[in-house]
Chain A
Amino acid sequence: MFRFIARRLLFAVLVIVAVQVIVFAITHALGSPARLMLPATASAEQVALLDSQLGYDRPWWEQLVELLLGSIVGDFGTSYWQNVPAGGVVFSRLPATLALVGLSMALAIAVSVPLGVLAAMRRGTTWDKTIVTISLVGVSMPAFWIGYLLIILFSVQLGWLPTSGYGTPAHYVLPVITLAALPIGRLTQIVRSSMLGEVGQQYMLVGSSLGLKPVTRIYKHALKNASIPILTMTGWEISRLISGFTVLVEVVFSWPGIGQLAVQAIEHRDVPLLVASVTVVAGLIVVLNLLLDVAYSLLDPRIRTAPTARRTSKEKEPA
């Protein structure tokens, strides 16, 4: 187990460094940040001056090495655009996105597991068809459209909730619902199809003949076995959301999160800020995947006790 985690961590570090290098290369190649900060009537000399004051015109390898080394200790340099340490900006925006993603996924799981199970149990009935339709709608409707609709209905017409912003619990309601729509759609389908796969299995029949209650059969046994693909999908959705899919919702609701920050960093060609955002996000996703792998092995004993790849000569051959 320990060796497994260590190997994964090493690989993760390599991935993060690769991501940093790629992002740095692309952003740097986009061109001068000073050009965008100064008004269009600024002269070429003024642009060059500001570029050198920002440190943009140093040799690229010097900047890259400085960024890579600095990122180990969390020092990503100074944001060109905001003139404050880039790492600080990213970490200050992180809670907002994490809260949004966390609550949305919690809502998504809380809604899609019962719905998916219901659809699987009552396959072919109106329940099933309705639920499948709902999940299709969730997958197909664009996030910003859902957002606008909710704002118009609940904020403008009814006045129950604020239109945008961040701060009170009321501010969370619409953004969380908007962001959860797509995961709900997808997860419901996954839950449904995984459950369908389990329900037909022999052990379910055995359980029924043993007199186990349906709730026990479904939630304790079938769902647990069906959970691996569900977990995979959940992890995938969370990764997608953290790595920037939240940007649509963050822009519509003026949510001060990382998605919005990364987009603005690109617009301003703010290399330190962008590398910082990407590094932090990549790090998060790596940790997430690691936790997922651990969760798999806990859920499925077969993974935990699988023989390791290398058999030593001392191991006994089965008789």
Chain B
Amino acid sequence: MRRKATVAIVATALLAVTGCATTAPEAAVDSITIALSADPSGLDPQLVQDGNALAVYGNISETLVFRADDGELVEGLALSWENIDDTTWQFALRPDVEFSNGEPFDAEAVVHSIERIIDPEFATQQSGWLGSLSGAEAVDDLTVNITTSEADPRVPSRMALITIVPPVASEEEGFGSAPVGTGPYVLDSWTRGGDAVLSVNDGYWGDAPEIQSITFRPVTDATVRLASLESGELDLVSGLLPEQIDQAPQVVQSRGLEFPTIILDTRDGAFADVRVRQAANYAVDKQALLDGLYGGYGSIASCQMIGPDVFGFNPELEAYDYDPEKAKELLAEAGQPAPKVTFIGDATNRWLKDAELVQSVASYLTEVGFEVDVQLLDFGAFLDELLAPENTAETPREDLYFIGHGNDSADADVTYTAFYASTGIDSSASNPEMDAMIEAGRSELDADARESTYQEIAEIGCDEANFIFLLNLDNTYGLSETLDWAPRVDGQILVKTMSLK
């Protein structure tokens, strides 16, 4: 009798629980759920440097300049721009645009936005995008001058990154949890640690998006993200491992901005000799790495760490072949058949499969004669070592350093300043000629002249082989069966371009 009662109680409890379960996809047909890899640190579009935050506020706030799918700068909140003198760019603004809270979008809003983000008190984490921006001035309601302290050809591309915020709402305390923008969606609610829900902005100036409502959900575990995609709870997932991605109902991909690269220290040690550096490049089978580690989702970098979507890309260059015999020859020529080198990598998987990549490259190097000591450090220690100000010619860093480079400004100046200039953060070279070219490119206002400068830098860089050039990884996404979307090179998730089949 007691046993029957127990069974009955348990059965009822199970029924009650499953009755509460939300199993099927969202109730509204045109609403989707997108996974985030972690809770966004905040939603102030000018403050944080966080991919998960960007996924959310990128659908709420907009910039003066947009990037087309092919990377071209096109009109956004501004209709046109021109460089009126060395340090001033004039932007003509789009008329009849409002923020979703009713504040008008005009030159005042732009001035306020620029002043807010360059204010040292504001302490933005996006400072890397600002360059020498010094201020803005309204010429009339729909014309604004943006000024820099030095000649800066990159102002339009900076305006593709800097968000425009409403002057009144952005000064209120809760703006970081409840952002307001000019974009196609507005924030309905955001629970920290939980969902962010967006719905269509009825007053949007552009084409009405098809998807009516978006839920962004942090799902911290990659395996669970895949499981949620399969169970129908999620419509879009990024950051799936290459081995998992084929299990998704639908896979889409695009060329990406990520270039895993290895920095060679040219000031001291085995890699001071260019032949040894070239040998390292010939030693690695990049196709095998691409297929083995990344499931083929990517391409081989053409002897530069930027891709065709970055301004300054050199289409003529070709990657070093996989030629271990040539590598051994070069080592013999340089009189170093068995160089001993130290290889620093990151142990915490900050970049996709970086630890495995480091180990694989180390084994290729070993095959042609190098003796490699691999050290995988905790990410904090790794960054400190890599970027320590003491990395000078007198006290250089270790021989090989792995780094994943992603140029989200789509301008070669960012990459070359960091990698080729002798004071560059990721640089381990000292080439005054190169420094001069980079300086020139930074302030050259003529686009064609700039482009050929950068292409020349790339060619020299390829021959000098200060780096082991490896791969260009694709952006891959798992989608549900019904979602229709072509991903962007810059990895931005813009729901206004999505539709349901």
Contacts and interface: CB of A to CB of B under 8 A. Distances in A.
Interface of A: 30-32, 35-44, 46, 49-50, 53-54, 81-84, 89, 92-93, 96, 144, 148, 151-152, 155-156, 159-170, 173, 250-254, 256, 260, 264, 267, 269
A251 B221 contact: yes
A89 B414 CA distance: 36
Given A164-B224, A167-B194, A254-B224, 5 more contacts: A31-B384, A42-B128, A53-B120, A252-B221, A269-B380
Given A37-B49, A155-B231, A162-B22, A89 B387 contact: no
Interface string B80-120: 00000000000000000000000000000000000000001
Interface string B352-388: 0000000000000000000000000001110110010
Given A50-B123, A156-B227, A163-B227, A39 B128 contact: yes
Interface in B320-367: none
Contact of A83 (B17, B49, B176): B176
A49 B120 contact: yes
Nearest to B223: A148
A36 B380 contact: yes
21 contacts: A31-B384, A32-B384, A40-B405, A41-B425, A43-B425, A53-B121, A83-B47, A93-B193, A159-B23, A160-B23, A161-B18, A165-B195, A169-B17, A170-B17, A170-B22, A251-B221, A253-B221, A254-B218, A254-B220, A254-B224, A269-B380
Given A39-B128, A50-B127, A44 B387 contact: yes
A170 B21 contact: yes
A50 B193 contact: no
Contacts of B127: 38, 42, 46, 49-50
Interface in B183-200: 192-195
Interface stretch (B36-44, B140-148, B479-487): B36-44
B315 interface: no
Interface string B118-143: 00110101011000000000000000
A83 B42 contact: yes
Nearest to A260: B220
B20 A35 contact: no
A152 B229 CA distance: 12
Given A36-B383, A49-B120, A41 B21 contact: no
Contacts of A170: 17-18, 20-22
Contacts of A168: 20-22
A161 B21 contact: yes
A106 to B, nearest CB: 14
B158 interface: no
A216 B383 CA distance: 65
A137 to B, nearest CB: 21
A163 B224 contact: yes
Nearest to A50: B123
Contacts of B384: 31-32, 35
A257 to B, nearest CB: 8
B231 A92 contact: no
B52 to A, nearest CB: 12
Contacts of A54: 123
Contacts of B228: 155, 163-164
B230 interface: yes
B460 to A, nearest CB: 21
B223 A82 contact: no
Contacts of B258: none
Contacts of B231: 155-156, 159, 163
Contacts of A264: 38-39
A50 B217 CA distance: 29
Contacts of B44: 83
Contacts of A152: 227
Contacts of A260: 220
Nearest to B409: A41
B403 interface: yes
A254 B219 contact: yes
A155 B227 CA distance: 8
A263 to B, nearest CB: 10
Contacts of B221: 144, 164, 251-254
